[in-house]
Amino acid sequence: MKPAEPVTLKETRFEAGKTAGVVSALLMLPRKANWLLVFAHGAGAGMRHTFMGQACAMLAAEGIATFRYQFPYMEKGSRRPDLKPILFATVRSAVSAAARMSGGLPLLAGGKSMGGRMTSLASAEEPLEKVQGIVFVGFPLHPAGQPSSDRAAHLHDVMTPMLFLQGTRDTLADLTLLKPVCRKLGSRATLHIVKGADHSFHVLKSSGTTDGEVLRELARTTRTWADSLG
């Protein structure tokens, strides 16, 4: 999927932390960018996964640049996520690296599944510098088949506005649990529900909607929400 606006795609690397080493990143910068999203991947697939690339292209079409990056374990080819201190340090380092390359664009941060949750956990410990909003592309509220809202406890310590993009068929986020979580967060939380989408935002052919249309909806929703932040 190619964005409507001409884009610059630049590969770079940055130091993820004192003990984490150097990791890779991709900056996708549309000519008429209004925002930059620091975009972390999910637990099982890196920044070059098809979903990440397609999502970034759709965001670019909406004037949102992206800085997607690898966590150290993925950079090393491992399937086992790093310990939380390393993940948090990587999130902070990615935000700093993105800010240096942003050309002054206002920043958002977040990610797909685990990447979004690690972003909010890092922010709960200490606000991410210059980040105006956090975007969850499928917040992993609980493991599949184990409904619980325990993973959302830290969100009460996140002072940054948050956008939750969630599918109705997401087995990692029971909406009957997530909706009350968002209500308790008040004006800090915005929940956008995508009918028929699973955790990967795939929809069934019988839905009458395509995966591409879903990605476009996610991108447009993100842009509208970001612009509302002021």
CATH classification at residue 193: 3.40.50.1820
Q: What is the pLDDT along the chain (230 residues), one digit of tens a residue?
A: 444 557 899 999 999 987 789 999 999 999 999 999 999 999 999 999 999 999 999 999 999 999 999 999 999 999 999 999 999 999 999 999 999 999 999 999 999 999 999 999 999 999 999 999 999 999 999 999 999 999 999 999 999 999 999 999 999 999 999 999 999 999 999 999 999 999 999 999 998 899 999 999 999 999 999 999 97
CA gap 218, 165 in Å, rounded = 7
Residue 1 in any domain: the answer is: no
How remote is the C-alpha of 11 from its chain's centroid?
19
Residue 195 in any domain: the answer is: yes
Q: Which pLDDT score, from 0 to 100, does residue 19 have?
A: 79
Residue 2 in any domain: the answer is: no
Residue 93 in any domain: the answer is: yes
Residue 145 in any domain: the answer is: yes
| 48: number of Cβ within 10 Å | 13
Residue 24 in any domain: the answer is: yes
Residue 40 in any domain: the answer is: yes
CA gap 188, 170 in Å, rounded = 22
Confirm if 113 and 42 have CB atoms less than 8 A apart.
yes
CA gap 184, 179 in Å, rounded = 9
pLDDT in tens, 110-157: 999 999 999 999 999 999 999 999 999 999 999 999 999 999 999 999
Q: In the beta sheet, which residues pair with residue 92? A: none
Q: Which pLDDT score, from 0 to 100, does residue 32 have?
A: 92
Number of structural domains the chain divides into:
1
| Encoded tokens for 209 | 């909607």
DSSP 178-229: HHHHHHHHGGGEEEEEETT--TT----GGGT--HHHHHHHHHHHHHHHHHHT
Residue 50 in any domain: the answer is: yes
| 50: number of Cβ within 10 Å | 9
Q: Which domain holds residue 95?
A: 7-228
